[in-house]
Amino acid sequence: MNQPIQPLRIALVGYGKMGREVERIALDRGMEITARIDIDSPSASTDEVRKADVAVHFAIPATVQMHVEELARLRKPIVVGTTGWTKQAQAIQSIVESEGIGLVYASNFSVGVNIMYRLLREAGSLFDRFAEYDVSVHEVHHKDKLDAPSGTALSIADVLLNTIKRKRGVLSGSPEGKIRPEELQVTSGRYGAVVGIHRVTFDSMADSIEIVHTAKNRTGFALGAVVAAEWVKDKKGMFTFEDVLADLFKQPR
């Protein structure tokens, strides 16, 4: 007789705007939430977390390394949506590798943004041939966001630096005097309740092309994180959401 399929059990590490949205989507898909970790119960080494198949982290950047250490000790695969921890990336990668767990991270779990990265890779390699065009990145988020520029803007900048040879580094913010031509300017706006806007502008004397992603709500991020949680539960190693999507795009529809 076939065994009934056990629904995925998720521990939510961080139970704010994103944690709650992940919960809504996961419950909609018949999954179970075993733990909700927040500032009042900040340890991820609880009995409720032990019962989970996967942990999903949407908390604050300062907690990422500590939580990854705790979760790795429990041998829990992790989806990290929290942004602003690139300085700890090396340390986190060593923990993941030495403990043999799986971790998927992305500064942006929306499918739309990940498709935008692909469009930008193509656009960047075309504009690389035309020095008349300059390129810049502008992002806007709500007034409570902790990090600037956003992790997504930095991922976009990476794609552009890897495809447009005349751009060699990021200038986040305003230049002192004139901007150097090899600098890729990344600017940020923080106001109101904006969920997230990322705008890339290719501009010349003749014309201008813009590629813009506008998040309408948090659903797209949460859905991507839940898809990543299903995917990573039996994997080992560090992955990005682009790896998850590349794998899913390979599967027959």
Under rule CB under 6 A, residue 235 binds ligand NAP? no
Q: Which of 57, 138, 141, 213 is labelled catalytic? A: 141
Under rule CB under 6 A, residue 164 binds ligand NAP? no
Tell me the window of 47-55, 60-68, 125-133, 199-207 that interacts with ligand NAP (CB under 6 A): 60-68
Task: Sheet with 183-190: list strands edge to edge.
Answer: 169-172, 183-190, 134-141, 197-203, 208-214
- Sole binder of ligand NAP in the list 28, 38, 122, 210 (CB under 6 A): 38
Following DSSP, what letter does each residue of 175-230 receive, concatenated? -SSSPPTTEEEEEEEE-TT---EEEEEEE-SS-EEEEEEE--SSHHHHHHHHHHHH
Q: Which of 145, 233, 235, 236 is labelled catalytic? A: 145
Tell me the window of 82-90, 126-134, 153-161, 175-183 that interacts with ligand NAP (CB under 6 A): 82-90
d(CA 224, CA 64): 19
Closest CA to 211 of 134, 129, 116, 131: 116
- Give the side-chain half-sphere CA count within 13 A for 118: 10
Q: How many of the chain's residues bind ligand NAP (CB under 6 A)?
A: 25
d(CA 8, CA 229): 9
- Sole binder of ligand NAP in the list 37, 56, 116, 229 (CB under 6 A): 37
Would you call 167 a catalytic residue per the annotation?
A: no
Under rule CB under 6 A, residue 81 binds ligand NAP? yes
Q: Are strands 134-141 and 197-203 parallel, antiparallel or unpaired?
A: antiparallel
Q: What are phi and psi of 104, to 5 degrees?
A: -110, 130
Under rule CB under 6 A, residue 237 binds ligand NAP? no
Closest CA to 151 of 201, 117, 101, 115: 117
Residues 100-129 binding ligand NAP (CB under 6 A) are 106-109
Chain centroid, CA 116 distance in Å: 13
Under rule CB under 6 A, residue 12 binds ligand NAP? no
Would you call 141 a catalytic residue per the annotation?
A: yes
Under rule CB under 6 A, residue 185 binds ligand NAP? no
Under rule CB under 6 A, residue 17 binds ligand NAP? yes
CA angle 82, 185, 180 (to 5 degrees): 145
Judged by beta carbon, residue 71 or residue 106, the one nearer ligand NAP is 106
Under rule CB under 6 A, residue 228 binds ligand NAP? no
- Sole binder of ligand NAP in the list 39, 89, 126, 246 (CB under 6 A): 39
Residue nearest ligand NAP, Cβ-based: 16
d(CA 159, CA 128): 12
Closest CA to 134 of 212, 208, 213, 211: 208
Under rule CB under 6 A, residue 15 binds ligand NAP? yes
Judged by beta carbon, residue 59 or residue 72, the one nearer ligand NAP is 59
Catalytic residue numbers read: 141, 145
Which residues of this chain interact with ligand NAP, rule CB under 6 A? Answer: 14-19, 37-40, 42, 58-61, 63, 81-84, 106-109, 221
